[in-house]
Every structure is written in C-alpha cells, then in structure tokens.
Chains A and B, each alone.
Chain A
Amino acid sequence: MTDVTPIRTAAESAILSRFPEAKASLPGTPAVATLREQAFGRFVETGLPHRRVEKWKYTDLRSIMREAAPLAGAPSAADLAAAKVLLAALPDFGAANVTVVNGRFAPSLSDLGALPAGVTASDLGEALGSGHKLVVERLGRAASADDSALALNAAFMAGGAIVAVAAGVAVDRPIALRFVSVGTAAATYPRALIEIGTGASVTLIETHVSADGIAHQANGVVEIFAGDETKVEHVRINAHGDATVDVSSLGVVLGGKAELNSFNFVTNPAAARHQVFFRFAGEHSTGNVSGASLLKGKRHADTTLFVDHAVENCASRETFAHVLDDQATGVFQGMILVRDVAQKTDGKMMSRAVLLSDDATMNNKPELEIYADDVACGHGATVGALDEDLLFYLRARGLPKAEAEALMLAAFVGEALESIANETVRETLEGLVEAWLKAR
C-alpha cells in the first residue's frame, strides 16, 4: 500500500465513525467480533468500492451512495406492521415464509410453526451470539471474497436467518426468504445462512422489498451450502422501492452430483448490484446462474459473477437478459474461472441486452480464465435495439407498436426465464415481466 491518505467521502467518514459504537451492541461471540474487526479493517483500507476498482468499474458506490443512511435499529411494532403491508403486495408463491425486517429475524412474520418437514429456520442474530455450529463452520465460507461491500456486511450484520434442510428431504413447498426494509431511510445489513443436506431438494424464493420513495441502503449477503446430490432452485426477486440502493452478495458452494439454479430478477430499485460467488466443490454438478433486469428511468442494475470451477466435470450456464429503457444502465460482468484441475468443464455464459432508448446504456464484460486444457467454454454478449423487420411483421398484422414490442420483449426475457425449472415460479415471473411491459 502507498502511504497516501485516502480522501474519504462523507458516506465513508460516517461509516467509519459509527463502527466503534455500533459494534458494542452488535451480536456475536468473540470469534464473530474478530471477524467483524477484520472485515471492518478491510473497509478502512478500501473504502466504498468505486470505478477504479476493476470489479466495480461500472457501479461506483462512492458516487451512488453520497450519504450513508443511519444504521437501522431493531424493528418496532409499527415497523413490523408496515412490513406486513409491503409483504402482502408480493407475488404469492404458496411458500412457507421466513422473514427478516431491517436486518433482523422477524418470527412474527414467519411461518415457523408451519415449515415443511425437514426444514428448520432460526434467528441468525441469536446464532452469532451463541456460537451456533453453522455460524462457526459456515459463516463467510461461501462469500469470503475480499470485496469491500461484503466486508461492510460482515462488520455491521445485525442478524438475519438460518435455514437448514435436512439430508434426503424433498421439500414439497417453496421456502420464501423475505427481506424487508421499513421506516425512515436506513442502512441494513441482512444476512442468511442456508444449508441443504445431502440429497435434499428445495425451491428457495428470496425477495427483497421496501417502499418507493425512501432512500434505503441495503447490503445483504446470502450464503448457500448445497451438499452432494442436492437439487436447488433459488429465485431472487429484487422488489426494492425506487429510491433504494441495494447491494447484494450471493455465495454458493455446491457439492458433487448436484444441481443448483439461481435466478435474479430486478425491475425497481434506483440502483442494484448483485454479485454472485459460485464455487463448484464436487464433481458432476451443474450450476445455472441467470437473471433478468428490466429497467426504466435512471435506474441502474449490475450483475457481477464469479464462477469458480475448482473441480472436474462440472457444467455452468449463465444467461442474462437486460431490457433498458429511458436513461437506464445495465451492467453484466461475468468471470468464469476454470482451475487447472477442473478438466472437462463445460461453461457457457451469455448476456443479451435490448436498448429501447438512445440514452440507455449496457456495459458487458464476460471473461473466461482457463487453466485446464480439456474444457468446453464460451461466452457471448449482444446489445441492440429490437429488430425493426420483426416489429414491422407484427405491426402489419395489426399489433400497435407498444403491443408488438411487448410481445417481442416478453419472448426475449422468456429465454432467460427458461432456466427456472419450477413452473409455478417461472409463470409468476412471466407475470411480473408482463406487468412491467404493460406499465411501460
């Protein structure tokens, strides 16, 4: 490091000065406290990520977060009531709910008594303090990258949820992990630890919600440890309000002969950054990481992937669709790392964007880093307007412009949605896409 003292932004200074007081009341064993200190040290070194940090090139948190919103406190009764209202507007997946409000486990808004057999859910905040086995063994293991957004979460996490699926259980109902930000504009650092036992299968719906017009700052981390022969469908719906800045990190460690799909859907927040750290830890597994961002106004959505083929014989598919209108910005950065041991890796990454306005921007940066010699990997990226000839064909049949475009865009996004195996979930997302297109 150089000895130049970095110039702190107002937001950085506020975050730096609040930690000493905050840490005294944040939960955790001495080991967790040490982890917080280390993470905070990392933040002291780097500050908020900005455009000169390669991985954050297109999402400059320093300029997006001019002020640091105050830390959210534990939710009041009024907060919980407000959360209930926001949650009621979410699509109904017929799921068993596990809810986190302002970064804290909210049992009163969770279906703890009605979880499917083999599924347990508990308070991560409590677990941090009690030295829970999963915290000791897993916390930070799927998302331990030295990324400063992640570091901030580790320093300030107040709690969240632990979800465990017992080995061999085929969970018959989706589990919905719902993260809510309520009250005045605040910073939340929710966290979830999910462990899926050998041979189990489950559908996880992760939703994030806040009201429009309130400048919340959410920085959540979800870690999924899926054992051997598991089958996991994970769909994340970012339904944050239109003034919220949402930074999220998903860490996945996938065992052998397993299959995991993770889909991220964004339409509404002012700015969103979703980073995925996906590690293949066992052979003969398949990982699908995909998503769709439909953005209008001045919204910004960034997806940054790091897929780590650390073992042989795994396949990964990354399929992303962006629909960008007005002055919206989309970012896709995908890195597939194939380590020297990871022979027979099959990796395909595709990012496609449709620009509906001259002022919309898409930044694509797919990358492959391959150290094994017997692999089949490829990537591609396209950016363009809707095909004028196809539009004319539809309009010549009587479809007005907006309807013709909606039909083509639904088809375009539908291609990315195809990776969702659960039909009900896929259809619900198709409905959300349709609603977005109608409101355009």
Chain B
Amino acid sequence: MLEIRNLHVQIEDKKILDGLTLTVNDGEVAAIMGPNGSGKSTLSYVIAGKPDYEVLDGEILLDGENILEMEADARAAAGVFLAFQYPLEIPGVATMTFLKAAMNAQRKARGEDELATADFMKRVRAGAEKLGIPQDMLKRGLNVGFSGGEKKRMEILQMALLEPRFCILDETDSGLDIDALKIVSEGVNALKSPDRAFLVITHYQRLLNYIVPDTVHVMAHGKIVKTGGKELALELEANGYADYKTLAA
C-alpha cells in the first residue's frame, strides 16, 4: 500500500525527517509512537501533501506510484486521508457544504457522478449518528467552536464519508474522553478492510487496546528506530523513550 524510502525533509533549513523508511501493507494497522518533536506530524503532512515542506531526498509510493509530485487534492482523490492532530476551524463554511464539496470533488476526480442530495444526507446522518455527532453541529461553520473531542469526531466522520484507502490518524485519541475514545475506535475499526491501511500516530498505549495494531514503529529524530508487534507499545509505556533517543542520535 504505502512505501516510504529514505525520506529526507526539511522546513526553513531545519532537517526534520532524516532518512525515514517505512512500509505499510494492504489491510495493515501500523502504529507510530515517538517523543514530542520527533517528526510524526511532519511525516503525516508530507504524506498528505502540505506544501511548506522541502523534500530533499526519498520517495513516497502509494500502490507503487510516487505521490510526491501530486497536489494534496490529487493525493486525497487517490485515497490518502489525514485526520489532523489539530483540526482547523473554517468560519463561514458550513460543515454540510464542506462535506458535500469534498465528497463530490473526490468523486469528480475519480470520474464518478456527483452524489444526489438525498443520498448525501442519508450518508452524513448515518455516519454522524454512529459517531455521536448531533445534527445541529453539522449546520455550524466547520469545526467552529467545536470542543477538542468534537473536532476529532468530525475528522473521523470525514474519513468514514470519504472512504479513503490510506488513513493517517495523527493523535486522534488526544482530547477524547473515555466514551468518545471507544466510539471513535469503533468507527475506525468498522472501516478496517483488506484493501485499506491505517497509520495510527499516538502517545498512548490505551488507544491501541481499541485499535489493535499489526505493527508498532518507534520514531525518533526523524526516522523509524525500531519496529515490532503490539507488545512494543506496552514496553514503551513501561520504559519510555530513553533508549531510543540515544539510539537515533
């Protein structure tokens, strides 16, 4: 599904990703853990196509195709989705308007017909209900005045509606209360399928009790420094990152 080879990225002359290599297979749930500032969000932005970053070297292949030259919207249409660590508020853009525009833009890019309004409404209602998002929230400006947890749920709703193939969840668990963590995890698990993969970035092992990873990667100083199974997360929870910080330096 996704293959990252020897990725070097800098921003404003600051090197952030330093020869990162990572493979995520079809159907896999991969978790990335790592200290603050190690470059996890940067990696997710670079995969999604944020323009600020300078890619010095390396490749990101989605199903064998290098996506680095593609604009963010083309990557989205190709199936990349990033649930933001900090979802942005867009005043004046009604959530419903945004959802419809996004769904139809992707359909259009794939050569599919626009959704009929009734079909769209049905999908949104059903998705929102599953995630415990009240209908009146959908009428407000996108994320405007939403609580931290509400914003995270809205990200997952977007993911469910857009049906991406490669989903990046950047600290989706932070800001969620215990019940919401469960609801959101169920939402993610419901999307699991053999031709969809997840990259789950988190600081807490607890999320991984709900969204059980196939692999756990440790990231430090802009590269993957260790890869293991789900037990690696437990080990990190117990021992912290001290070993890896020195390892990467």
Contacts and interface: CB of A to CB of B under 8 A. Distances in A.
B71 A401 contact: yes
Nearest to B110: A398
A395 B76 contact: yes
A392 interface: yes
B102 A399 contact: yes
Contacts of A399: 73, 101-102, 105
B234 interface: no
B175 to A, nearest CB: 17
B98 A398 contact: no
A440 interface: no
B73 A400 contact: yes
A397 B48 CA distance: 10
Interface string B83-108: 01001101111000110011101100
B123 interface: no
Contacts, number: 77
B50 interface: yes
A335 to B, nearest CB: 28
B82 interface: yes
Contacts of B48: 396
Interface residues of B, number: 31
A390 to B, nearest CB: 6
Given A408-B90, A411-B92, A398 B84 contact: no
Given A389-B88, A390-B88, A398-B76, A408 B93 contact: yes
Given A388-B51, A392-B51, A397 B102 contact: yes
A397 B158 contact: yes
Contacts of B91: 411, 415
A393 interface: yes
A411 B93 CA distance: 6
A47 B97 CA distance: 51
Contact of A415 (B71, B77, B92): B92
A313 B4 CA distance: 66
Interface in A397-422: 397-401, 403-404, 407-408, 410-412, 414-415
B72 interface: yes
A400 B88 contact: no
Nearest to A407: B93
B162 interface: yes
Contact of A395 (B73, B81, B141): B73
Contacts of A414: 92
B109 interface: yes
A395 B72 contact: yes
A402 to B, nearest CB: 10
Given A395-B73, A396-B72, A396-B82, A403 B105 contact: yes
A398 B109 contact: yes
A44 to B, nearest CB: 49
Most buried by A among B75, B77, B93, B109: B93
B73 A393 contact: no
A373 B218 CA distance: 64
Contacts of A109: none
A394 interface: yes
A407 B76 contact: no
Contact of A407 (B84, B97, B158): B97
A388 B45 CA distance: 13
Contacts of A395: 49, 71-73, 76
B234 to A, nearest CB: 32
A408 B109 CA distance: 20
A90 to B, nearest CB: 27
Contacts of B109: 398, 400
Most buried by B among A399, A404, A414: A399
A237 B213 CA distance: 59
B47 to A, nearest CB: 10
Interface in B44-72: 48-52, 71-72
B76 A396 contact: yes
A398 B164 CA distance: 11
A410 B97 CA distance: 12
A302 to B, nearest CB: 25
Contacts of A404: 73
A408 B102 CA distance: 13
Nearest to B88: A393
A386 to B, nearest CB: 11
A398 B77 CA distance: 6
A347 B50 CA distance: 41
Contacts of B90: 390, 393-394, 408, 411
A331 B141 CA distance: 29
Contacts of A398: 73, 76-77, 102-103, 105-106, 109, 162
A162 B77 CA distance: 58
B105 A400 contact: yes
A373 B77 CA distance: 59
Contacts of B158: 397
Contacts of B98: 394, 397, 407
A401 B76 CA distance: 13
Given A403-B101, A407-B98, A407-B101, A397 B76 contact: yes
Interface in B130-153: 141
A394 B91 CA distance: 13
Most buried by B among A396, A399, A403: A396
28 contacts: A388-B51, A392-B50, A392-B51, A392-B72, A393-B88, A395-B71, A395-B72, A396-B48, A396-B49, A396-B50, A396-B75, A396-B76, A396-B81, A396-B82, A397-B73, A397-B102, A397-B162, A398-B73, A398-B77, A398-B162, A399-B101, A400-B105, A403-B105, A408-B90, A411-B90, A411-B93, A415-B91, A415-B92
Given A397-B102, A400-B73, A403-B105, 20 more contacts: A393-B84, A395-B49, A395-B71, A395-B72, A395-B73, A395-B76, A396-B48, A396-B49, A396-B76, A396-B81, A397-B158, A398-B102, A398-B109, A399-B73, A403-B101, A407-B98, A407-B101, A410-B92, A411-B91, A415-B92
Top 4 A-B pairs, shortest CB-CB distance: A411-B92, A398-B76, A398-B106, A397-B102
